[in-house]
Amino acid sequence: MNQNLLVRNKALPNLPKVQCRRMPIGAENLRFIQDDKTGAVKVSGYAVKWDSINFYGEKFIRGAFAEVCAAFTAGNKKVHAYYNHGWRMYWVDSLMALRIGKYIVLREDEIGLYLELEFTPGLYWAQQVAAMVKHETVDGFSVAFYPPNPMDIEDKGTHVEIKRADIYEISVVDEPADSAARIINDDAIDSIETENDAEELIRSMGFPGEYAKKLMARLSGMQKPHEEPVSQKDPLGWLDY
């Protein structure tokens, strides 16, 4: 076997080392437009919301993508568009690795990271994804970002705040990042019998395991009655009642 070819095969494809985080597309955020003249289909929404803590216990702070948006607007930065991060699935089907369109707007506002995506006209794969979005068969965006500098991350105990991040691509996806979240109702609360049950319920709300444990520890500490040391108790304190 040609050793040079073997080395090249090991090196390709040069996949970026990024992390992917998903955000559900809500009906109140999604806008779907089709140009009757050109046939171009556009969709808009939010890839990140400032008030949201994702499944991984991360919260992006407004300004986290300011540099990315500025570079994108200036034409110095490209943010690619895929379906379900298809670039990682090249080995399954080359069709999945196709880019489905291009982002024409990327900016931060008071709600989150706003975007507008134009699906590639005439591209079969892009039109299939557009049809699924229009029918609400798929309902999410997912940001693929490079690992942030530790200086740009702050641990808040129950979650971490990310103050700056660089984006590689944003995908239209099937499932949101908080897909493990559950509706909290009376049945769920009544089913709690042990601390493990409570921890599992907290984890289902989107807190990763270690943060669920920390929150449980804090709640347990808050529930314990505060008692003064015996030596500090007033033996005649009962007269005050």
What single letter denotes the amino acid at residue 91?
Answer: W
> Which whole number is the average pLDDT over 35-64?
84
Q: Does 33 score more than 70 pLDDT? A: no
Handedness of CA 77, 81, 86, 90 (dihedral sign): negative
pLDDT over 60 (residue 31): yes
Strands, DSSP E only, in 146-193? 153-155, 160-162, 167-173
Extents of the domains making up the chain: 14-173, 186-222
Instruction: Using the Cα atoms of residue 147, residue 151, residue 156 and residue 162 in order, give the sign of their dihedral.
Output: negative
Q: What pLDDT sits at residue 68?
A: 97
Q: What per-residue confidence (pLDDT) applies to 47?
A: 87
Between 40 and 186, residue with greater pLDDT = 40
Alpha helices in 21-65 (DSSP H): none
Upper half-sphere CA count for residue 218 (Cβ side, 13 Å): 9
CA 70 to chain centre: 21
In terms of Cβ atoms closer than 10 Å to its own Cβ (0-12, 13-18, 19+), residue 139 is: buried
Q: How many CB atoms lie within 10 A of CB 81?
A: 22
- According to the per-residue pLDDT averaged within each range, which of 65-69, 97-101, 219-223, 226-230 is highest? 65-69
Please give the backbone phi and psi of residue 75, each rounded to the nearest 5 degrees, phi first.
85, 15
pLDDT digits (tens, 9 = 90+) for 200-229: 655 544 444 555 566 666 666 655 555 555
